[in-house]
Amino acid sequence: MRIALASASRSAGLMASALARHGIATERAGTVEEMFDLARAYSLDLILLDAAFTGPEATNLRRLRREVTMPIVVFGELADPDLSVAFFMAGADDVLESPVHYPSLAARMQAIVRRSRGYVSPVIENGPLQLDTMSRGAHVDGMPLLLTAKEYEVLHAMVLRRGHALSKDILLDKLYGSAEEPETRTIDVFVCKLRKKLAALGAPDLIVTVRGSGYMLRDLSRLSRAAISNDARPLDVMAA
């Protein structure tokens, strides 16, 4: 999961490091302008917004809410309890008062992102695949699916958007920061490795290539495995 951390606080670096230990990568924005640039330029999962950046009467927060659909979590020192109400009314999905307990913050953000995609349980099932978004573990028919951190992030992004094609650029945004410049074929490598590991556990056709769009995890949530066959695939979708 990759988020934007918008804060000029000296503790922002400490927060980013703490979140990284929970599998949450951050893109740092040290000004309000940088915050808007990040929100527009990258396909991020969530914006973690310092209350100091919300603006007078939460004007910056309201503007941000109009421009993006991703969840927004506000944190900071709230001298007035009514501030949290104002932030919620301006479009925040959650408000946390400092000092922030980092494990709780990570868990709340993961739950918010998961629920924003329509999933209530932290364990998401898709046919034979089970993905535990809290432990960052995966199983296929109960057998452990051993993944690297990057492979997990690719699979996690696909699971949250199962049934929808994700472009290579979107997947790159989930994996790498703005200072890195990986080639799009990097995603091909990760998908190839994921396919091999899934096939080894008896799930060879979960990830398909969508011509001109990218990759997609087939949505098996409403279908029995016995009912799925190669003949049932749309013409513009390929298994490899």
| Longest Cα–Cα distance in the chain | 62
User: Is there a single domain that holds both residue 112 and residue 127?
Assistant: no
Q: Report how far residue 81's alpha carbon sits from residue 79's, in angstroms, rounded to the nearest whole number.
A: 7
User: Is there a single domain that holds both residue 153 and residue 184?
Assistant: yes
Residue 127 near residue 206, CB atoms below 8 Å: yes
User: Is there a single domain that holds both residue 111 and residue 130?
Assistant: no
Which long-range contacts (C-beta less than 8 Å, at least 24 apart) are formed by 115-118? Answer: 116/70, 116/71, 117/160, 117/161
User: Is there a single domain that holds both residue 16 and residue 92?
Assistant: yes
Q: Which residue stretches of the chain have pLDDT < 50?
A: 224-235
pLDDT at 23: 86
User: Is there a single domain that holds both residue 40 and residue 95?
Assistant: yes
pLDDT at 182: 77
User: Is there a single domain that holds both residue 159 and residue 80?
Assistant: no
Q: Report how far residue 129's alpha carbon sits from residue 113's, in angstroms, rounded to the nearest whole number.
A: 20
Number of structural domains (the chain) is: 2
User: Is there a single domain that holds both residue 103 and residue 136?
Assistant: no
- What digits encode the pLDDT tens for the residues 208-238? 999 888 999 999 876 544 444 444 444 355 5
Q: Which of 63, 84, 116 is the last residue of a domain?
A: 116
User: Is there a single domain that holds both residue 85 and residue 166?
Assistant: no
Q: Which of 89, 116, 143 is the last residue of a domain?
A: 116
Q: What is the mean pLDDT of the chain?
A: 88
Any idea what the CATH number is for the domain that residue 68 is in? 3.40.50.2300
User: Is there a single domain that holds both residue 109 and residue 130?
Assistant: no
pLDDT at 237: 55
Range of the domain at 185: 123-238
pLDDT at 114: 92
Please state, for a pLDDT cut of 70, what percent of the chain lies above it.
Answer: 90
Q: Report how far residue 18's alpha carbon sits from residue 127's, in angstroms, rounded to the nearest whole number.
A: 34
CB neighbourhood size of 155 (10 A): 23
User: Is there a single domain that holds both residue 138 and residue 233?
Assistant: yes
Q: Report how far residue 208's alpha carbon sits from residue 204's, in angstroms, rounded to the nearest whole number.
A: 10
Residue 16 near residue 60, CB atoms below 8 Å: no
User: Is there a single domain that holds both residue 154 and residue 222?
Assistant: yes
- What digits encode the pLDDT tens for the residues 104-130? 999 999 999 999 988 989 999 999 999
Q: Report how far residue 65's alpha carbon sits from residue 35's, in angstroms, rounded to the nearest whole number.
A: 12
